[in-house]
Copies of this chain bind each other. A is one copy, B any other.
């Protein structure tokens, strides 16, 4: 059994150095929803120092809303937006002597692409057009996951150990009561279970099958570094190897 631990970094939130020792994939912001070329370079360097796989983390050009506001954007524009951000991260990685490994869309772009097949296909085209060997991080059972597969990409199913799931394997929206699990121990034991069983207990009590290739640690939450360390040691104690998905 194997799992990847990923976090969003390069977003200027101060945790990057504390997270890197524990995570195995770093999704690096490219300057659209957060970050800038210098932060990007420094973050890529940090990931290389820690042997963490580097991913592009493209988001809407929306610093005010931190890329969390849904925008209506034609698929062709979304493709340009994503491609431009992949290029920036890829070039920064090359400049620092590395290369990129995966792409994880950010915030509203990720959520919209999970349910909108045309947007998802545009993102998959942007990735495949750049490098067919990149891995797409996407929610299991989502339009984005399907678009990646249909577009010939390897797709890693991403799960959230601190979020409640519906019976259909989708996330309970943050605005609903009980959507976010706060207790660190509960998150850790839930993560172990999700990875070992590839199943999750949904909010209605039902037991749901859920592919889990990578677990997300939110890189902008106070205490995220402690959580990342706990997850890593709990996985290892449970005999689950922690490593980035193979390219």
Contact = CB atoms under 8 A, between A and B. Distances in A.
A229 interface: no
A204 interface: no
A131 interface: no
A14 B70 contact: no
Interface in A80-113: 80-81, 83-84, 87-88, 91-92, 95, 108
Contacts of A36: 61, 64-65, 81
A222 to B, nearest CB: 5
A95 to B, nearest CB: 8
Given A64-B61, A72-B70, A222-B222, A77 B37 contact: yes
A83 B81 CA distance: 18
Contact of A77 (B18, B38, B66, B220): B38
A41 interface: yes
Contact of A70 (B12, B38, B71, B225): B71
Contacts of A62: 61-62, 64, 71
Interface in A220-241: 220-222, 225
A222 B72 contact: no
Contacts of A1: none
Nearest to A220: B14
A28 to B, nearest CB: 13
A80 B41 contact: yes
A66 B225 CA distance: 23
A76 interface: yes
Interface in A187-221: 220-221
A69 B74 CA distance: 10
Contacts of A88: 84, 87-88
Contacts of A139: none
Nearest to A13: B13
Contact of A15 (B41, B87, B222): B222
7 contacts: A14-B220, A37-B77, A61-B62, A62-B62, A70-B71, A87-B88, A87-B91
